[in-house]
Amino acid sequence: MIRKKQIAIFLSTLKSFDEPKVHLEQYPSDSEEITNILWEAHLYGDLHEKVILDPGCGTGIIGIGALLFGAKKVIFLEKDPDALETLKENLVELEGFTEEEYNYEIIQKDYLSYEPSEQIDTIIMNPPFGTRDKHIDANFLKQSFPIASNIYSLHKSITEDYIMKLIEDNNFEIFYKYDFDYPLKNTYEHHTRKLKRIKSVCFGMNKIEKL
């Protein structure tokens, strides 16, 4: 197993969006925070030898990190073909970083119409925050509940109460909560600051088994 620090450094070298699309809320993911979340998922036993779904994967930082933490397979799901081209470039870099062979599948599809063809053990996702498409983050979560019993999902802290209620209403319970400041770099023309930090939260949740 590659060390956590090595993974964080490698993820920081991956390519992000060449021309990010504002309507899809495409922002570079922070490699350090993603590594922290993946590390916790690893400690909870939700990565190693598990089938992982990375919906709205963008250029693949979450799914690639999951592979490095020993996932049995990662399914990269993304509707934007340009993002998937960058993902493929990053996967080539992965093959050069380690001699391991990794099992993954790339699917171009809108997550909200996705139906899995195999059992998914864990979903780890950084959905759009809903700035442009209202409630898209909640819709990603609703789509996830029937698919996997273990879910890790990032959200704006301002939506925390609503997301927690949504989790409870869908018979899931939170076992992990990570608060952090999401570093949002100057990506679009309407951004006036070089770096803005968005108060964010990652929830780890699992399905409550009925007795």
Domain ranges of the chain: 4-14+29-207
pLDDT band at 1; cut points 50, 70, 90: low
What percentage of the chain exceeds 90 in pLDDT?
A: 77
The confidence score (pLDDT) of residue 184 equals: 74
pLDDT score for 124? 98
CATH topology of domain 4-14+29-207: Rossmann fold (3.40.50)
pTM here? 0.91
Least confident segment among 6-20, 66-80, 168-182? 6-20
The pLDDT, as a whole number, for residue 26 is 73
**In the chain, what percentage of residues exceed pLDDT 70?**
92
Q: Which residues, at least 6 apart from 175, have a Cβ–Cβ distance to it below 8 Å?
A: 44, 204, 205, 206
Query: What's the whole-number mean pLDDT along residues 42-49?
Result: 97
Cα atoms in the 13 Å half-sphere on the side-chain side of 188: 11
Of 2-6, 39-43, 71-75, 137-141, minimum mean pLDDT range? 2-6
Average pLDDT of the residues of the chain? 91
Give the SS3 label for residue 143: helix
d(CA 135, CA 157): 14
User: What is the mean pLDDT of the segment spanning 57-83?
Assistant: 97
Q: How is residue 134 annotated by DSSP?
A: T
- Residue 197 — pLDDT band, cuts 50, 70, 90? confident
pLDDT digits (tens, 9 = 90+) for 97-144: 998 999 999 999 999 999 999 999 999 999 997 677 688 999 999 999
